[in-house]
Amino acid sequence: MFTKLKSLKYLRNFSNAEKVSVGFLSSAVFVAKIHQEGLRGRVAKNGPFITYPKRELLGFSESDIKMIKDSVLDHFDKLK
């Protein structure tokens, strides 16, 4: 479920002189948010509302966080 969410079709990058970010476009944002946070939403266009169970689709694992932290610290060490 949601394996295509990470494809370039739904991902867009945004940047300016101060920052860079990656985000989602289209209805994928709406659907993903409902599932990520366990919110209420319609089953179909005119269907009934239900409360979806919380399913973490996006995020970082502990090993991801450690890898990112180590990479950032390594980068700053090289700047010294």
pLDDT tens digits, one per residue of 22-69: 887 777 788 888 988 999 999 888 999 999 999 887 788 899 999 999
The pLDDT of residue 9: 82
The full set of domain ranges for the chain reads 3-79
Contact 51, 40 (CB under 8 A): yes
The pLDDT of residue 72: 92
Higher pLDDT, 11 or 46: 46
Scored b (16 or more CB within 10 A) or e, 4-26 reads ebeeeebeeeeeeeeeeeeebee
Contact 29, 62 (CB under 8 A): no
The pLDDT of residue 56: 82
DSSP class of 16: -
